[in-house]
Amino acid sequence: MDRTRSILDGWVRNLQTHASTNENDEPSYYASHPQTLISTSQPANFSIGTGSQILSNVFSDCLATNHELIIVTCFWAKSESQESLSSLLLKLSAKAVSQSRKIQVRICFSSRSLAQKLFQTSSLDGEIYPPSSWVSLGLPGPESLSGLELVVKCVFVRPFSVMHPKFILVDRQIAFMPSCNVSWENWFEGCIQMRGEICNTLLQFCLAFWSRGTPLLPQFSSSTVASQHEVVPEGQKHSEINRVMFPSTIQPITTILLPSPHRSNPNFRPIGFSPPQVPPTPLNTFLLHIFATAKTSIFIQTPNITSYPLIEALFSALALGVNVHLITSSKLMILEQIVTAGTITEFEVWKLRRRYNSLLSAYTKASTYDPESQPAKPGTLSIGYFHPKTGSMDSDEPVKSHLKCVIVDEEITVLGSGNMDRASWFTSQELGIAFLSSEMARSIKGCIVEGLDDRVVYVFPNPLKYLPYSTKYELESQDFHPKIETNKDADVGASTTMRPSHSLSLSLLPLAALSHAASISCGPPLTNGSLWYSSPTTSSGRLGILETRGNAELLATYPGTSVALLSLAVTPCSSSVLSAYPKSGNNTTTPVKLQLTGSDAGNCLALESTGAANVFITKQTCVDEDGDAQTAQFWTREANGELTPTWQAGGAYWNLQFNEGDAEEVIANPSPCYDGQTCQDGEQLNLVVSDGSPGRR
């Protein structure tokens, strides 16, 4: 409760200092009294799916309407969603006619076509479409809607100010806030359904902006409406990607409506000039406030990222030790980004990665040269691009992500229409909603993460940096040097006996069933699928795409890069082979092959590697019933057959070391264990593989 009070008080004080500026906005009813935007809600569910899936279900729920239905969207286009809406209107009209009454319906949108944006009035009164034009909008004709008092209105302000909010109100009792438009795009979307005080707060915003030049809505008793509501059978629901239901007994949650009025002036500045001041709207101010006060983590999913104030806020949070996790889309609305922001998401992501690497370097230097200063350790940065699920033939598979979601410290959730781009922060009208509930934040994040399964490719940190358990592979831009760590607990401890029917791939997970598993069953060659990784500091995600290449060999590629090539071959006996191909530009050098096999005899694992032509390395580890390492053999065999020390200046070199306690990275010093030596029971084995270049690990 103290955190909630602190967030609310800080945000309200900030808005009050900008009251004189915000009073010039439309709407501005809250400028002097931002507390009016604070209410409570009782969320019913949160769902994710494509726009057509989500709106089909929402419109099914809207069949319960008895008196009034308000639908606000931004883009309006011929689509399945539009057909579902037309079907809803026909059913509501028939229902009203059968009961000898009228149902009030308002449909509000902002963008229909280029011609509409060029020639429609820029007045905030907008344009009301006469009944004779409804069919041209994809709606039923007026003769089919005699049971409705329907008003269709469009507002757009040139040059760039679309009215971007999306929400639906049913009898002022049920509210939906989807991220999708009534349009055709097959994108990854989300929607929150809720009841409670928030419905009145949302209605107040709607009337303040959309009622200009529009017939007033009649008054009716909310208690009467609540008693008349019908329940739509679950059988009418359409399939979705995922949904989380909130218990009906949930206590009202502190909820904040976050308007962000449009700005006609995009306020562009020439290169070299200081960036403009961000408009102090309730939404912008709240986001900057929770980013500045974040304690542990920031999770953002957004179609694109081009907002300078947002990026600066995230970088500041990283510098203070806050972990930042970004999911966005690539190659989405490129022209729109260039026109409204002068940049694109991919470029801003690249810049953020460079700045973060510089931040890490500065921290490392400060820690090395002045240990007593104890500089703040930067938070972790994870960036992933959305992509369709691998191998999916489903026509409903989303191709881009359009969900807008911010979760801070797993306590504060912000949903709505606002993107993390310049257009949303500077020119478009937006509408967000914040929920201050840790239970709700965790539920929504869990729902989203499940829905993103096999739908994200991470570009930062290095895509191979974290793999399940203690295995780690790292890629360094142009120089590929796989770094592999394995310990008894992760690779052997899960099974006290190694049998020929199972193969381990150093926890790389070749995934016979393409699932999260520590071992794989030998059998037929793998088919196309996905290669997965799990990060101890972020979340799980897809590493790359597995494709059949030759006899039982799979190529795992990391989309969007030219630096990572892995070849994974699984035989139907008891071995797995990992070939790591170093790359420099377009030149592929000699592969390093690692083979790990299981055996009944002695419960042994054998690891074999070939690197440069003159190096051959073999290591064998046997384990007891508890999976503890008993012996280790380690040597380097030259082409002439002689054994040499483990440390080599050229070719592939390996460093084997046994450590007490937790596994550590071993990046220097030869191993204390050589050919024939026995290492102590219970010690852990760390194996580091480098590319053979002197001085580089």
User: 239: domain CATH number?
Assistant: 3.30.870.10
Instruction: Tell me how many domains the chain contains.
Output: 3
Q: Is residue 107 part of a domain?
A: yes
Note whether residue 676 is domain-resident. Answer: yes
Instruction: Let me know if residue 9 belongs to a domain.
Output: no
100 with 241, same domain: the answer is yes
Same-domain status, 579 and 454 = no
pLDDT tens for 610-669 read 333 222 233 333 333 444 433 333 333 334 444 333 322 222 223 332 222 222 222 222
Question: Which of 103-107, 377-381, 515-519, 555-559 has the weakest average pLDDT?
Answer: 515-519
> CB neighbours of 395 closer than 8 A, spacing ≥ 6?
186
315 and 449, same domain (yes or no) = yes
Do residues 292 and 256 share a domain?
A: no
Mean pLDDT across 42-66? 96
252 with 363, same domain: the answer is no
Please check whether residue 406 is in contact with residue 417, taking contact to mean a CB–CB distance below 8 angstroms: no
Q: What is the pTM of this model?
A: 0.68
Q: Is the pLDDT of residue 289 over 60?
A: yes
Instruction: Please indicate, yes or no, if residue 546 is contained in any of the structural domains.
Output: no
Does residue 600 surpass a pLDDT of 60?
A: no
Pairing of strands 187-195, 400-401: parallel
Has residue 567 got a pLDDT over 90?
no
Label residues 12-48 b or e (16+ Cβ within 10 Å = b). Answer: bebbeebeeebeebebebbbeebeebbbbbbbbbbbb
Confidence tier at 536 by pLDDT (50, 70, 90): very low
Q: Same structural domain for residues 224 and 289? A: no
Q: For residue 221, how many C-alpha atoms fall within 13 Å in the half-sphere facing its CB?
A: 4
Angle between helices 282-292 and 2-17 (to 10 degrees): 130
Please report whether residue 269 resides in a domain. no
Write down the pLDDT at residue 228. 56
603 with 657, same domain: the answer is: yes
| Own/partner long-range contacts of 444-450 (Cβ < 8 Å, ≥24 apart) | 444/46, 444/244, 444/405, 444/407, 444/413, 444/415, 445/299, 445/407, 445/410, 446/244, 447/46, 447/47, 447/48, 447/242, 447/243, 447/244, 448/48, 448/190, 448/242, 448/301, 448/403, 448/405, 449/539, 450/242
Domain that holds residue 635: 488-505+564-689
Indicate whether 92 belongs to any domain. Answer: yes
Structure tokens at 442: 């965790």
| pLDDT bucket at 348, cuts 50 / 70 / 90 | very high
Residues 299 and 438 in one domain: yes
How much is the mean pLDDT over the chain?
70
Say if residue 194 is in the same domain as residue 83.
yes
C-alpha torsion angle, residues 686, 692, 693, 695 (rounded to 10): 30
Beta carbons of 685 and 487 less than 8 angstroms apart: yes
Angle formed at CA 304 by CA 299 and CA 307, multiple of 5 degrees: 85
Would the pLDDT of 285 be above 60?
yes
Q: What is the mean pLDDT of residues 505-530?
A: 29
Confidence tier at 675 by pLDDT (50, 70, 90)? very low
How many CB atoms are located within 10 Å of the residue 490 CB?
20
119 and 183 inside one domain:
yes
| Pick from 42-56, 88-102, 122-136, 357-371: least confident | 357-371
| pLDDT tens, position by position, 407-430 | 999 999 999 999 999 999 999 999
521 falls within a domain: no
Give me the mean pLDDT over the 487-506 stretch: 24
